[in-house]
């Protein structure tokens, strides 16, 4: 049996998808697209034999072995090959699989079939038979018999792929079989599922999301109150935003009543206790703490439970300050802390018509609801 290594290329900008975040870092359930691709490859290849190619300058440490990519896909693959040569015991006869980070739905069984083919063949690719009728714009109908759409992983005996990369100075090949073929090698086709599509456009991402429905939805509620301090102040922090005001809220941390209600709502949705259990006020570490830390902790507990945020809704209850002008900024800040789109965050404000402690301007209350989806 030949040893198996893998390079997952995820250094692209995802320009055709038109999103601020490169497509490989978008969420699919409780994981990113890239994490899903890694996890499937890791069922067939040892983690220490996989190198992930990430965008240049990205400082996130996500994978056991990762390295900055190049300006084209071909350059990124070559960076991976050089990395394996330098940092592992890879031999020319060993197998190297090249996989697009943007194909998170590749099936474990298909990768295993590819590895079996590569015991005897020096180059092979997953590919799915075409089902649509084909027509060339100028030349008319094309017989689709025997035509396949190439996918990844594509697998090679290391020495052959390395040599093809060294010989090809033109850096624009969008897959590795074309490089190896231009060097005179035969490519074996291993049929695979059409589910192994590459996320390229926003439509592809929407389709990917629809393939991953949560198996359970849960909601949690949160409530918090802080009294105003008697000391004069010039700003007050609510939902992570500092708002000009002549009073501050009393509290052990920064007293951000909005983020506290949201944190409790999220902890409620995942059945993980309440904010006081995780951050006891008796612990001096949390003194004057930025409350975004509490919400971040709840997000990380949620990920551990294979869950992802669907929606957050918070209502701030006070007579003053007036929050109208800050609600959008608050939504943006909450979305940023939770790594979700702003469309999944709602911030509302209300008074109690001068009734009760909020009506007498003695303090501020906040209530929140979090909706969370659990994934298989």
15 part of the interface to ligand CTP, by CB under 6 A: yes
Q: Which 3 state secondary structure label does DSSP give 77?
A: helix
9 part of the interface to ligand CTP, by CB under 6 A: yes
Nearer to Mg ion, 23 or 237 (CB): 23
Nearer to Mg ion, 43 or 174 (CB): 174
Burial of 74 (0-12, 13-18, 19+ CB in 10 A): buried
Q: Which of residues 214-273 bind ligand CTP (CB under 6 A)?
A: none
13 part of the interface to ligand CTP, by CB under 6 A: yes
- Whole-angstrom CA distances from 79 to 34, 70, 73, 183, 346 are 18, 7, 10, 20, 43
Nearer to Mg ion, 10 or 12 (CB): 12
Q: Which of residues 55-114 bind ligand CTP (CB under 6 A)?
A: 69-73, 76, 100-102
List residues binding Mg ion (CB under 5 A). 12
- Min dist. Cβ of residue 71 to ligand CTP (A): 5
- Min dist. Cβ of residue 40 to ligand CTP (A): 14
Say which residues have a Cβ less than 8 Å from residue 66's Cβ, sequence separation at least 6. Answer: 51, 52, 53, 54
- Which residue lies nearest Mg ion, judged by its C-beta? 12
* 50 within 8 A of 58, measured Cβ to Cβ: no
- Min dist. Cβ of residue 8 to Mg ion (A): 15
* 297 within 8 A of 275, measured Cβ to Cβ: no
- Min dist. Cβ of residue 107 to ligand CTP (A): 18
Say which residues have a Cβ less than 8 Å from residue 222's Cβ, sequence separation at least 6. Answer: 260, 261, 262, 263, 264, 265, 266, 267, 268, 366, 367, 368, 369, 370
Q: Which of residues 152-181 bind ligand CTP (CB under 6 A)?
A: none
* 3 within 8 A of 46, measured Cβ to Cβ: no
- Which residue lies nearest ligand CTP, judged by its C-beta? 12
> How, if at all, do strands 241-244 and 235-238 pair?
antiparallel
* 44 within 8 A of 108, measured Cβ to Cβ: yes
Q: Which of residues 192-211 bind ligand CTP (CB under 6 A)?
A: 198, 200
CB under 5 to 8 A by kind: which of ligand CTP, Mg ion, none does 102 bind? Answer: ligand CTP
Nearer to Mg ion, 200 or 351 (CB): 200
* Contact positions vs ligand CTP (CB under 6 A): 9-16, 24, 53, 69-73, 76, 100-102, 198, 200
């Amino acid at each position: 049996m030949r040893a198996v290594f893998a390079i997952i290329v995820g250094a692209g900008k995802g320009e055709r998808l038109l999103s601020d975040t490169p497509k490989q870092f978008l969420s699919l359930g409780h994981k990113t697209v890239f994490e899903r691709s890694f996890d499937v490859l890791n069922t067939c290849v040892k983690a220490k034999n996989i190198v992930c190619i990430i965008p240049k300058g990205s400082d996130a440490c996500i994978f056991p072995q990762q390295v900055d990519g190049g300006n084209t896909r071909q350059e990124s693959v070559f960076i991976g090959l050089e990395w394996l040569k330098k940092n592992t015991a890879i031999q020319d006869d060993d197998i190297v699989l090249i996989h697009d980070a943007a194909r998170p739905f590749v099936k474990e069984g298909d990768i295993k079939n590819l590895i079996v083919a590569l015991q005897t063949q020096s180059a092979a690719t997953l590919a799915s038979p075409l089902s649509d009728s084909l027509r060339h714009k100028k030349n008319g109908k094309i017989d689709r018999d025997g035509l396949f759409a190439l996918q990844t992983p594509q697998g090679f005996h290391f020495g052959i792929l390395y040599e093809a990369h060294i010989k090809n100075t033109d850096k624009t090949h969008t897959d590795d079989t074309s490089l190896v073929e231009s060097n005179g090698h035969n490519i074996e086709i291993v049929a695979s599922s059409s589910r192994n599509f590459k996320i390229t456009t926003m439509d592809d991402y929407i389709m990917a999301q629809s393939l991953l429905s949560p198996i359970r939805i849960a909601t949690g509620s949160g409530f918090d109150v802080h009294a105003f301090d008697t000391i004069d102040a010039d700003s007050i922090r609510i939902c992570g935003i500092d708002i000009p005001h002549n009073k501050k809220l009393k509290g052990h941390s920064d007293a951000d009543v909005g983020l506290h209600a949201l944190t409790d709502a999220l902890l409620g949705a995942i059945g993980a206790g309440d904010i006081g259990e995780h951050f006891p006020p008796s612990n001096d570490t949390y003194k004057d703490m930025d409350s975004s830390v509490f919400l971040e902790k709840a997000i990380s507990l949620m990920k551990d439970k294979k869950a992802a945020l669907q929606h957050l809704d918070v209502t701030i209850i006070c007579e003053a300050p007036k929050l109208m002008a800050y609600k959008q900024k608050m939504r943006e800040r909450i979305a940023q802390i939770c790594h979700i789109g702003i469309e999944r965050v709602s911030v509302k404000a209300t008074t109690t018509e001068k009734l009760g402690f909020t009506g007498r301007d003695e303090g501020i209350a906040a209530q929140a609801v979090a909706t969370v989806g659990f994934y298989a």
